[in-house]
A and B are shown apart, each in its own frame.
Chain A
Amino acid sequence: MNRLKSELASLKMFSKREFIIWSSYRMNAWMWVLDVFFNTTIFFLLSLVTKGSDISFFPYGNNYVTFIVIGLGVHYISYTNLGDPFARVSKIYWGGTMDLYLLSPLSYYTPLMGIMFRSVIDDYPRVILALLFGGLFFGAIYSVANIWLIFLLLILILTSTLGFGIISASSFYLFNFKQNTEPVRFILQDIIIALTAGYYYPLTVLPYPLQVVGSFIPHTYALDAFRRLLIPGGDLMARVLPIQLLIDIPPITLDILILVLMTIITIPLGLFMYVQGIKKARREGTLTRWQ
């Protein structure tokens, strides 16, 4: 219990430090408000192009702006949880602070989670801003009939993307990827997710093989469930994703089950790989660049 308390206190300490650093760049707040506003505006303008066309968003209702801001929200979460852990481990390494963290009584994961807080402050509020700007200025409408289910889905997309993020971060030490790119993040985030997550268009518009590829990322299921639940007119029962067509379970239930499965596979695997990477670095003497 004391150990847990100490880890939580340390997380608070890391968060405080990250907040002090983040707030020392005063332009930051204005920059990201404007960034989200312009992103939302671009997709609003795109929605004007699609207005009156026969493009179908079935089973996700007919409001393209709501469709898009939900996509943007998941994109911001993924950008932090999946994309950031590798960058943070890289920062620890190049900053020469891994030694300090490992000399402390903290667990291997606390410093990583702690310094990720900078991205949490930077990116999570963008989710709220995107939903807010969409609703206030561009005609997005939300249906919040099942708030607990939405909350559960939010937790699941946070944890499942974080699992992939930690796997990506572990490759820094485990495979010695000390350059800026590594395959997990590059292949997942920059190729598969960018193409098949369906941030900006329904997955059903893609050729079937690409829809199958999209079945291996959590974004597909989170977006499917969020859009059915949050967009007015969303159909809760129609099955459209490849796996939904194979398994006879209500789509949202299936989405949740797959997200749970992805979480329980990726989080322990990521944590295990991360520790193995550090142990390997301890053996090889590659823990920090200052040996």
Chain B
Amino acid sequence: MKEKIIDLKSITKKYKGLDLDNKSAGIVFWIISIFKLTSNKSQSIVALKDVSFDVKKGEIFGIFGSNGAGKTTLVKILSGLLYPTSGSINVNGYNNINDIKSIISYISTNGWMGLEWQLTAKENLIYYGNMFGLFGKSLSDKCDDVLKELDMYDAKDKYIAQLSAGMRQKITISRGLILDKPIIYLDEPSVNLDVNSSKKLRRNIQEYVKTNNRTAIITSHNPEDLYICDRIMFLYKGKVIANGSIRDLKKPLNNFRILAIKCRNFEKTSLKKLQQISNVKSASLSSIEGKREYQEVKISIDKHETTTGNIIDFFIDNHIYIFNMNIHKISLNEVYEYYINRSENE
């Protein structure tokens, strides 16, 4: 049994709501802002609600969730950048921010990624290493090694402004790797990377964790990023809706396959009727008409089911135009949707 390196208990995070109605400026704005220091009446937004989980030493742990699920907030709390509203955090026996930050490396690919665009790729790494007390030839060599691992060595003397978004992202990842800390957080690591680079990055992370006996937490809304994880936690609207290995998470859906139908004119109210068909386990509407030319209805059916005629009849009877349909194995996204439905029905 591996020892726990991260242990979170009942973490709740409320953000102060944005005051979008405040159009005041100048002195009025100053007075209102100073007054708000002592009086906070704006409605708060719950970003995380009673989140508890643990991560074992040497594990690659994934946090999967749609946009706004609370992934980044959770990682920021884990790294001490944000204070939770309530609950307790324990990272490698520490619960003090200064101790926690000494053992973690946080790689965020959000926004500008904090890169200095007037400096070269390597100068950025040196600058960042210096900030963490690393200096001299050992730092320079470490930067070269990491840049080579991520196929960025040839671009080391290029200015950040000359790099593509994907290359800048690799520099951000290199920046986290040069610190070589016991715990590494990767927030949406492959968001700008092409397919091959993403694949290589996943391989690198896996090797890095195994070879150096590190622990990694990856947050993503891209299922591909998370197939290397030992365990995955599903976050939805700030709540944990499931947690376990991919195999465990898929278990309730082992006997099902997905029938995906691209169609037009599907009314949301038709979902309930569709679910009443005998061989339909569940159904969901994945995309809304208007954004695209079509809608996609995903229907869970028994994997031994050979006929889908009654489902097609339902579409024809309801004058729903079908573009195409296919049957496939359950993906991580669909497992996530299953747990969302389950939590909403509870």
Give the chain A neighbours of B73 by CB distance below 8 A: 285, 291
Q: When the two chains form the complex, which single residue of B33, B79, B112, B123 contacts A95, counting CB atoms closer than 8 Å?
A: B112
Q: Is the CB of A103 within 8 A of B111?
A: no
Contact with A along B248-262 (1 / 0, CB 8 A): 000000000000000
Give the chain B neighbours of A24 by CB distance below 8 A: 118
Give the chain A neighbours of B130 by CB distance below 8 A: 9-10, 13
Q: Is the CB of A101 within 8 A of B131?
A: yes
The interface size of chain B toward A, counting residues with CB under 8 Å, comes to 44
Name which residue of chain B comes closest to A12, CB basis. Answer: B130
Contact with B along A71-111 (1 / 0, CB 8 A): 00000000000000000000000011101111111100000
Q: Tell yes or no: A208 within 8 A of B by CB.
A: no
Q: Smallest Cβ distance from B324 to chain A, in angstroms? A: 39
The interface size of chain A toward B, counting residues with CB under 8 Å, comes to 39
Give the chain B neighbours of A9 by CB distance below 8 A: 130, 133, 135
Q: Is the CB of B81 within 8 A of A102?
A: yes
Q: Tell yes or no: B72 within 8 A of A by CB.
A: yes
Give Cα distance in the complex from A100 to B34, angstroms: 28
Give Cα distance in the complex from A20 to B119, angstroms: 8
How many inter-chain contacts with C-beta < 8 Å in the A-B complex? 101
Most A C-beta atoms less than 10 A away, residue of B16, B30, B85: B30
Q: Is the CB of A288 within 8 A of B131?
A: no
Q: When the two chains form the complex, which single residue of A21, A102, A285 contacts B15, counting CB atoms closer than 8 Å?
A: A285
Give Cα distance in the complex from A104 to B29, angstroms: 34
Q: Is the CB of A21 within 8 A of B30?
A: no
Name which residue of chain A comes closest to B133, CB basis. Answer: A6
Interface hits, B80-115 → A, CB 8 Å: 80-83, 85, 98, 101-102, 104, 106, 108, 110-114
User: Which chain B residues have a beta carbon within 8 Å of chain A's beta carbons?
Assistant: 13, 15-16, 25-27, 29-30, 33-34, 36-37, 47, 72-73, 76, 79-83, 85, 98, 101-102, 104, 106, 108, 110-114, 116, 118-119, 123, 127-128, 130-133, 135
Report 12 cross-chain contacts, Cβ distance below 8 Å, ordered by A residue.
A17-B123, A24-B118, A96-B110, A99-B106, A100-B128, A105-B101, A175-B33, A283-B83, A285-B47, A287-B81, A288-B111, A291-B15
New contact pairs (20) apart from A97-B114, A282-B81, CB-CB < 8 Å: A9-B130, A13-B130, A17-B119, A24-B118, A95-B112, A96-B112, A96-B113, A99-B81, A99-B106, A99-B108, A100-B131, A102-B81, A103-B79, A103-B101, A175-B34, A177-B30, A179-B29, A183-B27, A290-B110, A290-B111
User: Which chain A residues have a beta carbon within 8 Å of chain B's beta carbons?
Assistant: 6, 9-10, 13, 17, 20-21, 24, 95-97, 99-106, 174-177, 179, 181-183, 279-280, 282-291
